[in-house]
Amino acid sequence: MSITRLDPAAERKFRELLRSQEKNRGFLIAFEGPDGAGKTTQRKLFKAWMRSVGHEVVTYRWNSSPVISPILKARKLAHSLSPEEYCILSAAAFRHQLDTEILPALWSGKVVVADRFLFTALARDTARGLDLHWVMNAYLPLFWPDQVYYFALPAEVSSQRISSNKKPSFYEAGQDVTNMADPVASHKQFVGRVIQEYEALSKIFQFLRVDARQSIYEQHRAIRQIFMQGDRKSWAEWNMDAVVSWLSGTTVTPNVETGKEE
């Protein structure tokens, strides 16, 4: 995906607008980790806590774009997705939700809690054999969260938790790349690859590590403590291209003082 190119005057205007809004914009938190790590449970608890202390909170769910999700579901049912196609469709879904859900909420000062984010793509797609640089290019312009909570879990525990209630689905189990007939065995092998990629990403991007083997309460308490000590990432430093691209494509002019649209 190419980055929107603007004439110099228009680009300067949008960059100034972004810097003016920095102090008023919201906070993006991503929950990442392998299957069965408890991300959804912790996301719900964190969202309830944030609301209880006065924040307006929006949830983002990975690959839930109403435009792209039906295509993905149909292709998954037919087992007709190559790793490259899976990546491209997921990138399109991410871009649609970033432009229509995530950035408008952040611009208006809301907290966005993401149940999986960009790092899900980086971990799973590279576990499927794709080159990391190629995957990152599919998601350009990149948009980074303020905080990333990584729920660390061994592959055996992940596989046990997932297979305790149901058999993993074809792509969840990674059967498209393991070529194993048994979905449980395939999932254990595939999630091991995914965890290896997560561990590498964790070191590069300095994830906030949470031991997913702890009790639900202990994890939630740890997340709250980490959040209260954390800071936001500067959009001007980390997300300038993505936000300018979004601003240039909006059909309305966001109001800098209130964060509302005019």
Handedness of CA 29, 24, 92, 57 (dihedral sign): positive
The CA distance from 74 to 113, in Å, is 27
Side-chain half-sphere exposure of 34, counting CA atoms within 13 A: 30
Residue 172 inside a domain? The answer is no
Side-chain half-sphere exposure of 186, counting CA atoms within 13 A: 18
Q: Which domain holds residue 106?
A: 8-151+207-249
Residue 160 inside a domain? The answer is no
Pairing of the two strands 208-211 and 27-32: unpaired
Whether the predicted pLDDT of 244 surpasses 60: yes
Residue 197 inside a domain? The answer is no
Tens-place pLDDT, residues 15-70: 788 888 888 999 999 999 999 999 999 999 999 999 999 999 999 999 999 999 99
Whether the predicted pLDDT of 236 surpasses 90: no
Residue 141 inside a domain? The answer is yes
Structure-token match 């950035």, residue found: 103
Residue 116 inside a domain? The answer is yes
Q: Residue 259 — pLDDT band, cuts 50, 70, 90?
A: very low
Q: Residue 261 — pLDDT band, cuts 50, 70, 90?
A: very low
CA 90: distance to chain centroid? 11
Q: When comparing pLDDT for 258 and 254, which is higher?
A: 254
How many structural domains comprise the chain?
A: 1
Residue 260 inside a domain? The answer is no
* CA angle, 95 then 205 then 129, to 5°: 65
Side-chain half-sphere exposure of 190, counting CA atoms within 13 A: 26
Domain of 226: which CATH number?
3.40.50.300
Residue 98 inside a domain? The answer is yes
Residue 181 inside a domain? The answer is no
Provide the whole-model pTM: 0.88
